[in-house]
Structure 1
Amino acid sequence: MIKEAAVENFTNVPTVIANGANRIELCDNLAVGGTTVSKGVMAETQKYASEHHTPIMAMIRPRGGIFVYNDTELKIMETDIFQAQELGIDGVVFGALTDDGDLDTEALEMLIAAAGGMQITFHMAFDAIPIEKQDDAVKWLIEHGVDRILTHGGSLDKPINESINQIKETIKSANGQIIVLPGGGITKDNVDQITSELGVAEAHGTKIV
């Protein structure tokens, strides 16, 4: 079981690794859902994590709020991906949508190209895609080599137990071709029950260990 801990900055990284996290999603500003950390934080976290054989997934998000980005913001994201790659970060976490809630395929193609050779997680922007469009989104992400989709199965306002059926629909769409990573409200107390019910081998949370 891969327990991916979402961690803000470096401060708690040693603790969560010691407590059993075997992958880290590295963020700043978790209060807004996570943004990109500084180069210094990324470098020190990568150094520590590699010494403890723990992969790092770096959040690539220039600000909180909606997942519709302008050209300047996308250029910032591309530069941050190059920086993460230069520092030896294992993977990156990002998402980009249009005003209509579709995948911003042009932006995503650019970001995916920048991340060449790194793992890619499409983050909870997925949950902002209208349900009737999600199956097509999954297919596009598979075709473009994205490794996993982080999803709560709906609004974070509702407990993950109420989103299980929608996450199962995403798993069905994925058809074993892309990892579906459940997150949002998964804790060390419910992780075994939720992963068992969904039949998944990875889970994500801020309190997963």
Structure 2
Amino acid sequence: MQERMDHLDESIGLRKLTLYRDVVLTEAGAAPAQPASRASVAAVIRNPWAATGPTADLSREQQRIAPLLAILLTGRLIDALGGVDRIEAFGKAAIVGTGGEIEHAGALIHTPYFGNLVREFLKGESIICFADSRAEAGETLVVPLWHKTHASTRSHYQTVSARVSDAPRADEIVVVAAASTGPRPHPRIGDRMTDPVVTTETLEVVAS
């Protein structure tokens, strides 16, 4: 296992991994009916396209690196949250350092080489919520989540904050996968599949 990790470190320039996990035990003075654990795993890698210019082809490194990150991050998410079948919501994100383009962040998360594999490994069906940014080291990125098989399930609309204190450096990218084992505490604002039809005409009727 260590030999495989050492090879991965060298192959993609992996500098560090950061795992964040929390569980809400009480909210508004009461325990949630279904306490949910949330987690994010961030991989700090060297930016393979640093200083390459805005016309550089991103596809070769994208196809090589993104699947490795999908395997690496989802494996740790599953371990952190107690198994893939406990995971109900997911999200993804990337932060590129100041020496890179925002497109470099997108290249590692907005393609089938990452997204499709994350979805498959976490047994999901929904499009994966995302966030991407360019920032200095230590910047916090809020990663949105929603239900992995029923995207319209509003109870699972939530966020996880991801931060690596010393990353990304100017020539690095932080790639994040995040997940939750359940909904927000005390969800009670309805669901998109059962919402009433609301238009400007219905609002005029209510106001009259």
Q: With structure 1 as the length reference, what TM-score do the two structures score? A: 0.32
Larger radius of gyration: 2
The structure where helix makes up a greater share of residues is: 1
Q: Which has the higher contact order (CA 8 A, sep 6+)?
A: 2
Q: With structure 2 as the length reference, what TM-score do the two structures score? A: 0.32
